[in-house]
Structure 1
Amino acid sequence: MLIGGAIDKFKARLVIQGFRQREGIDYFDTYAPVVRISSIRFLIGLAAIHDLVIHQMDVKTAFLNGVLEEEVYMEQPEGFVVPGSEHKVCKLVKSLYGLKQAPKQWHQRFDEAVLSFGFKINQSDKCLYSKFDDSSNGVIICLYVDDMLIFGTNLRLVELTKEFLSSNFAMKDMGEADVILGIRIKRDNGRICLSQSHYVEKVLKKFNYLNCAPAVKRVLKYLRGTMDYGLCYGGFPSVLEGYSDASWITNVEDHTSTSGWVFLLGGGAISWASKKQTCITSSTMESEFVALAAAGREAEWLRNLVSEIPLWSKPVSPISIHCDSQATLAKAYSQVYNGKSRHLGVRHSAVRELITHGVITLEFVRSQQNLADHLTKGLSRDLVIKSAEGIGLKSISNL
């Protein structure tokens, strides 16, 4: 099916009855890693900085490529029973759709193929593969089940990678990246923007915007008014920076607070969260510290991710996290935690360790300039617009 909803082609597929499998007998592990959406946005921001080529490919019937390690038998498919051998069953050599281990075996098969071609796996995201020479020319592949984006420093290297993949798997070359995971990619004058306008339009049609209930109409009206907005990466600044904030006791029923953080690269947000805190805090400073610890964990993951990206300059500098609470910053730089709350003591030790090892640095920012402020509480219209522009959320109707 195409993006607009039109039918492109019809498919018929043999699917095995995986629900009849028994754990420990004909299957063991069933995990199937996929690339994090934060990793994709990071690579988009990196592409804006280094003007990388971005192409897209799709693996046809990806799960059929996996080689089985267990003994699995299936009944002969209806309509394809061999005359005179009706009592016999089929022994599977390769995966079929429906098998519980099919996603895992496909990922394992893809790993073996790209590693044999000289690619290296990023240990922070097992679905990122990179291959670079001494002159920093190379390719990065990110895989989401059977969809992949290929980032290259030049078109020749991207084409060589596509030829290699096509020689190992049945591939569909989709050319320059257009839509990945329902997100449209647009390039214009050095900027790269991510948009879901086509998806919003589909939602408005599905719920009949003009004739829906008033409460629903209010939400859909907001979607319609922001349909042409997208995350834009302009390539500057070319450093990772973060913002952390919290709102104390936002839920009066269970007295929990809300944490919010956002990280930016190249002028656009690549990772963010707005979550209810799992512990009860007794002050604004404590709730801010819980949010800061969560932002610190994400910063540590991002730093580990970029440390294995050859295009990122080495040594990797600490990631700056901005916080609008001076009391929280003072507590973070304090050598000793003398409070009575064990959950805060653990977080204090974690933040201190990140600072000591040069993973993060902390800086004060006023609440009006804190780009994570809108993730924790309701703000006035002007501040919401200001925060949106700060994280790279802009109208792309003119692109």
Structure 2
Amino acid sequence: MVQDTEPDDPVMYKEVAKHEKWRTAIQNEINSIEKNNTWTLIELPKDGKTIGVKWIFKTKRNENGEIIKHKARLVAKGYSQEEGIDYTEVFAPVARMDTVRMIISLAAQKDWKLYQLDVKSPFLHGELNEEVYVDQPEGYVKKGKEHMVYRLHKALYGLKQAPRAWFNKIESHFVFEGFKRCASEQTLFTKKNSEGKILIVSIYVDDLIFTGDDHEQMKTFKESMMKKFDMTDLGLLNYFLGIEVVQKADGLFICQRRYAEGILKKFETDDCNHVNSPILPGIKVGRNEEGKPVDETHFKQIVGSLMYLTSTRPDLMFATSLINRYMSNPTELHLQVAKKILRYLKGTTQYGILYQKGSNGRELEAYTDSDYAGDINDRKSTSGYVFKFSSGAVAWTSKKQPIVSLSTTEAEFIAAVVCTCQAIWMKRIFKELGYKGTECINIKCDNSSTIKLSKNPVMHGRSKHIDVRYHFLRDLTKEGAIELVHCGSSLQVADIMTKPLKIDSFLKLRSMMGMCEFVEVS
């Protein structure tokens, strides 16, 4: 497929004012601002101060890299605001990627369609409680009134309080429409009709994805939202936060093909030879203080790009989390490991997760594991877990433990507790989504001592020193909410999150997470 190509997005207003496509985009932004009664032109009060504004220009593309529109955004220079004077609350929640994947996996299992709405200029809908004044924007200064300023009634992009104001606005609208907000996930809303049919909506700033088992209810919701807010109906969900969603006959497939290809191009590794695993088995990575330093900014850019790629690539999680520990003072050793990951990515850009339709993988499966004293510098262990639903991974992590474990039992027990916390949270989310499942979640662990310790207060040399805060796992086990069950090491999916593996083991566990290569049907 031939992609549209353009130079980098322009920066200066004078530069874009020469082009019709950008002039149209700028006028559309001004029209949206004025249509929404965002501001009023007034004389600046005696004690008032203004905040500068600037134009930001962005070429929007679809999942295939094709240009779909040119966007101009008027942005306030919020960095000049002072806390307590210009704003108070700024926090606005966004959907967790775990939640988004859970919605996608449930839709796949139920054979529901996923749809997407995009809010045009969402922050313009947020109502301000503070007095905020901004300068007149470049290109739109009123003749004879150059000394006057705009007082904002609604938020502009760039203001510290803009995200909070917008979320408060849309949240109040959902409540008014009869939606129930999930207590465990503030950006998740559900609504059931008299027949028990459910509508599920998840918000990520200006992107809304929704699904459910009643097409009429979804149609009414879409019409209501487009009437209340200025929105674009994007139809079936196919591209969300850089994640490609393919709604297939056998399920739903998610990947980040275009983003992965962009990473390889950015770091000039798109023509390198690929390898079959992201990290060599048996490799030990430490601080390497004697090693030759490398460009810290360049290294951070690689790690940051790879971390976002783990939204759909659990196979990269351990290796990326490992080099993430050495963002400060990286050396050639750390850069070599990062390049190894990029070489693995070269041969797997088409890979993603397939959530299968139907009865396969109906129950939530959990796997927990740890690598005892794996860090060669501080001897801390690494915890890892993987949750599967609809035959694909929906949640995963690879994280160094906060304390030094004195035994393999303690390391495994701490990892199991972390997995348990995630399991309880996911159980609540699934319940909100209308999926109950079994009352008890089985967590698969390959350490017999940990399983026994979760059921009985056995006190011996390997367990007597374990901090009491981790023992709430026993209470959950007694209540029947959680049960640790034995899993053979060869089938321990979470093993891929804790240590470098041999090629055959790595490929086997990667497949068990529902990862496969996407083949486009012509």
- CA drift of 1:75 comes to 3.2
* Structural mapping, 1:1-399, within 5 Å: 1-2=60-61, 3-82=63-142, 85-209=145-269, 215=336, 218-235=340-357, 236-309=360-433, 311-313=434-436, 317-335=439-457, 340-341=464-465, 344-348=467-471, 350-397=472-519
Q: Is the 8 A contact 2:65 2:258 kept in 1?
A: no
Q: Where does structure 1 lack aligned partners over 5 or more consecutive residues? A: none
Q: Using a 3 Å threshold, how does the CA distance of structure 1 residues 124 and 175 change in structure 2: closer, same or farther? A: same
Deviations 1:272-309 (A, max 9, x none): 10111110011111100110010011011111212222
Deviations 1:215-240 (A, max 9, x none): 46643331121122210111422111
Task: Please give the secondary structure, in 2, of the residue aligned with 1:246.
Answer: strand
Partner amino acid for 2:516? K
Deviations 1:110-131 (A, max 9, x none): 1011111111111111111111
Using structure 1 for the length normalisation, give the TM-score: 0.93
Q: Where does structure 2 lack aligned partners over 5 or more consecutive residues? A: 1-59, 275-335
Q: Is the 8 A contact 2:116 2:208 kept in 1?
A: yes
* Percentage identity across paired residues of the two chains: 36
- CA drift of 1:36 comes to 0.6
Q: Is the 8 A contact 2:430 2:436 kept in 1?
A: no
Task: Please give the secondary structure, in 2, of the residue aligned with 1:368.
Answer: helix
CA distance, structure 2, for counterparts of residue 26 and residue 197 of structure 1: 42
- CA drift of 1:336 comes to 6.2
- CA drift of 1:340 comes to 4.9
Q: Is the 8 A contact 2:372 2:380 kept in 1?
A: yes
Task: Please give the secondary structure, in 2, of the residue aligned with 1:10.
Answer: strand
Q: Using a 3 Å threshold, how does the CA distance of structure 1 residues 141 and 281 change in structure 2: closer, same or farther? A: same
CA distance, structure 1, for counterparts of residue 176 and residue 242 of structure 2: 31
Task: Please give the secondary structure, in 2, of the residue aligned with 1:372.
Answer: helix
Compare 248-257 and 215-224 and name the one that shifted more: 215-224
Q: Is the 8 A contact 2:270 2:346 kept in 1?
A: no
Q: Is the 8 A contact 2:451 2:484 kept in 1?
A: yes
Partner amino acid for 1:272? W
Deviations 1:134-184 (A, max 9, x none): 433131111111111111213332221111110111111111110111111
CA distance, structure 2, for counterparts of residue 209 and residue 79 of structure 1: 42
Q: Using a 3 Å threshold, how does the CA distance of structure 1 residues 152 and 210 change in structure 2: closer, same or farther? A: closer
Partner amino acid for 1:358? G
Q: Is the 8 A contact 1:337 1:345 kept in 2?
A: no
Higher RCO by CA contacts (8 Å cutoff, separation 6 or greater):
1
Deviations 1:193-247 (A, max 9, x none): 1111222222222233366799466433311211222101114221112000001
Q: Using a 3 Å threshold, how does the CA distance of structure 1 residues 85 and 154 change in structure 2: closer, same or farther? A: same
Q: Using a 3 Å threshold, how does the CA distance of structure 1 residues 205 and 299 change in structure 2: closer, same or farther? A: same
- How many residue pairs were aligned? 395
Deviations 1:290-346 (A, max 9, x none): 10010011011111212222x2137x51211010000011111114667553x6321
Q: Using a 3 Å threshold, how does the CA distance of structure 1 residues 240 and 210 change in structure 2: closer, same or farther? A: closer
Using structure 2 for the length normalisation, give the TM-score: 0.72
Compare 34-43 and 77-86 and name the one that shifted more: 77-86
Partner amino acid for 1:374? I
CA distance, structure 2, for counterparts of residue 131 and residue 35 of structure 1: 18
CA distance, structure 2, for counterparts of residue 86 and residue 398 of structure 1: 56
CA distance, structure 2, for counterparts of residue 85 and residue 196 of structure 1: 49
